[in-house]
Structure 1
């Protein structure tokens, strides 16, 4: 019995769909370890850049606190790397997430010194449009360096916006959503650190996911 052309075409499409799904699953499985390794290398390199080794004497990669405040930090689980010198707090580096990127979440590292100034901001991963939103990468432009040494007092809180919205930070031509979202995320991270500063450095809180001032009633 000769099959109808529509049935044949449908069968061929189904075969391609199965093959495509299998290929995607295989590619993801094959590359996930490499992606994780690349993100870790970016993390280590950025930690050394934003918190210079001569300013701390502890291993920040093992002095970690996990906190839970998706409203301020964009993710339910946020790692906080603590830098100390002779036991005294120097800086924290938070793995904040920008949930409102143009093409999806953007993973950030935000270094906040104990005095509340920014040691820097770096992008770990993103899916922003090449040639537009990817200018958030330090290899693409120097825009990300505009956060260096800023604080909630410099600029004033109301100026933590892109220039199009009346703030001081540049936006990208044709891609305002990406920088706007990152500026807002960095501001929220600074506010979170300000409200939880001492709890974030508390060694006893190393296994406590919610520092003082962030606990739910």
Structure 2
């Protein structure tokens, strides 16, 4: 038995097909602009944690993917960018995660010299409590800058804690879990760089990971 298709149904189907085609075309045309914006955002963050004007497209290309859940907080690959001064690497920029924030994962980017000195750090993403835990954001407070210039080593691990726990860093009133998590993640990023000498010689494989 053949079920007749009404004229209205055919018209609607035609309109739907045209709409889908238009959306696909618009999306295709927008992709280059989206990619450029992602690149600009990534470079802005890299420049935020590195000495002024260090970040460039070449830095994005000089990148390796690593998987180290114990120190970097995720079971999936994360990017490590390599800043070079001639043939020598002057800093690594590590994408890392604090898995034990008050409201879940806190993603960070941390710039570290080969000897474990923190050049800068920024929070990329979090779900911490507004007005309390969100002070880890640079736009909310300068707390995240307190790690710049600090060195990471096995010997000074006890210093990498909030003052409440005997360390050297401030905690937030009413929110101690969040700064604890961030401090640990930054310390672990510095430790990771020192424990992975092969980072300097590995072939780049991020393909400008964004």
Give the TM-score of the pair, scaled to structure 2: 0.74
Find the residue that maps to 1:60 and give its secondary structure. helix
Cα 1:77–1:50 shift into 2, 3 Å: same
Deviations for 1:110-139, whole angstroms, at most 9, x for unmatched residues? 100123211111001111111000000000
> 1:141-156 to 2 correspondence within 5 Å?
141-153=141-153, 156=156
Provide the rounded CA distance (Å) in 2 between the counterparts of 1:37 and 1:104: 30
Find the residue that maps to 2:60 and give its secondary structure. coil
Based on CA coordinates, which of the two structures has the bigger radius of gyration?
2
The answer (yes or no) to whether the contact 1:63–1:81 under 8 Å persists in 2 is: yes
Provide the rounded CA distance (Å) in 2 between the counterparts of 1:147 and 1:106: 16
Cα 1:156–1:142 shift into 2, 3 Å: same
Cα 1:58–1:44 shift into 2, 3 Å: closer
Provide the rounded CA distance (Å) in 2 between the counterparts of 1:38 and 1:130: 27
Deviations for 1:151-200, whole angstroms, at most 9, x for unmatched residues? 1259922111111111111110011000000111111111111111x311
Cα 1:36–1:133 shift into 2, 3 Å: farther
Match of 2:68 in 1: 69
Match of 2:135 in 1: 135
2:111 aligned with 1:125, yes or no? Answer: no
| Residue segments in structure 2 that go unaligned for 5+ positions in a row | 1-30
Find the residue that maps to 2:58 and give its secondary structure. coil
Shift of 1:58: 7.5
Match of 2:199 in 1: 200
Cα 1:127–1:187 shift into 2, 3 Å: same
